[in-house]
Amino acid sequence: MDTENLHYFEKAPVAKAVAHFAIPMMLGTSMSVIYSILNAFFIGTLGNTAMLTALALTLPLFAIIMALGNLIGVGSGAFISRLLGEKEADDVKRVSAFAFYSSLILGLIIIAVGLPLIDSIVHGLGATPDSFGYTKDYVTIMLIGSPFVVLFFTLENIVRSEGAAITSMTGMILSVVLNIILDALVIFVFHWGVVGVASATVISNMVASAFYAYHIQYKSQFLTVSAKWFKLTRDILSNVFKIGVPAFVMGIFMGAMSLIFNHFLVEYGEQAIAGFGISSRLLQFPECILMGLCEGVVPLIAFSFTANKLRMKHTIKFTIKMIIGLAAVFGVIVYLISDHLIGLFTNDPQLIEMGSYILHVTFLSLFITGMTTLFTGIFQATAQGTAAFIMSIIQGITLIPVLYIANRMNGFHGVVWSLVISDAVAFLVGALMLYALRTKLQPDLEFTNQKGTQLE
């Protein structure tokens, strides 16, 4: 961690520090969403609804692979930031080496387990007879490339944990830009369809992972990918998995929720599934902006938790204000032009109507999802493993019964509204847990009196 990053961790005004950590993350995640939207747009130009359906159906698989990256990356990243606050440089090297090699091992396990079960996985994703072949092609490529996808999410987290927010953003943008270029080539020049799209995703993640690994090994003062620092200790496993497992479970639940949601939508036709896929990609943009804000400040919160709790408190308050403002702006935009946004991907009137309706309903919970992401980030940063675990499962265990009841009571409309209801429950649970933990998170009174005037 260089002097500039240390300045933002310790001394910069809170608003400036939040901007330093969050804006690069917001830009990086928004670029990822732009790619996701362009991905669907490129496929949409082929006029094949089955291909669009395959893209929607494979979202749960990608969520699971990403969850494995977060299992190591989120837990290691939060631990690294806390260790930096405690000035434990050697432990930081051990944790970063552990994160690198364990991610590659997890990716190899995915290949070994997934490829023999490929047909069962595709059926489990809910593929229709028309979309089965396209879905299988996508899943096969993603499984083969999973070590690089897992590694990408892990390394992005630990690079950001050191305060290298610009480098973290650069890697994400590199991945997205390369992905878009490759998508255009494989679809419009080579005509490889879904196979090309999946291959482009894997290649771009591999290149970005190499970029992060180079930075860690040759540019970072504390992080390393050197095998000599790789060591399994009870302390590393405990601290990484205490936060990593809830992050992993959350990712699994996200994948499971998408899978279950798709199964409920199947009975309303392929237009319903495709409409949900398109609206989900559009919703990802504001959601990922808010996610980038909340995840971007996690290293700052974690560092401040061990070094300066009053600064942590100011950081959280400022972040909440930003969530409110951004959610309001995005909400107004979407409600004004939702039909035009859906119309960018298809000219099917029924698909536009369904997608626009789903977009209107799900946007109601934008502020709520922003706050639940912040709650989760606070629990991760401050090593509140139990609270983080509860946040990781509450939405999922709420959605399943709500989906079942709402579908029986109000059909398609009930299915769509079930997302908002489960989001609201997660928000209430998170707010209650944060209130219950307020004593642990409060700054020391004597420290406050000495340092408080320096933080504004």
**Mean pLDDT, 10 residues at a time, the chain of 456 residues:** 69 88 81 71 76 79 83 90 87 94 93 93 85 90 94 92 88 90 89 87 94 93 90 88 82 71 75 76 80 86 86 91 90 78 74 80 84 90 86 80 86 84 90 86 52 40
Say how many C-beta atoms besides its own lie within 10 A of residue 52's C-beta. 26
Measured over all CA atoms, what is the biggest interatomic distance in the chain, rounded to whole angstroms?
68
Q: Is residue 55 within 8 Å of residue 331, measured between CB atoms? A: no
pLDDT value for 380: 85
Q: What is the pLDDT of residue 5?
A: 67
Q: Helices in 145-233 by DSSP H: which ranges? A: 146-161, 165-184, 193-218
What's the confidence (pLDDT) of residue 42? 78
Give the Cα separation of 359 and 283 in Å (integer). 7
CA 43 to chain centre: 23
Q: What is the pLDDT of residue 444?
A: 54
pLDDT of residue 3: 60
pLDDT (0 to 100) of residue 93? 94
Please choose, from the candidates 340, 307, 306, 304, the residue with its C-alpha nearest in 3D space to the C-alpha of residue 319. Answer: 304
Helices (runs of H) and strands (runs of E) counted in the chain? 19, 0
- pTM higher than 0.85, yes or no? no
Torsion of CA 9, 10, 14, 15, to 10 degrees: -50
CA angle, residues 124, 130, 131, in degrees to nearest 5: 50
Spatial CA neighbour of 10 closest among 441, 450, 308, 317: 308
pLDDT confidence of residue 452:
42
Contacts with 243 (C-beta within 8 Å, 6 or more apart), sequence order: 74, 75, 78, 79, 380, 383, 385, 388
CA separation (Å) from 101 to 39, 142, 229? 30, 20, 11
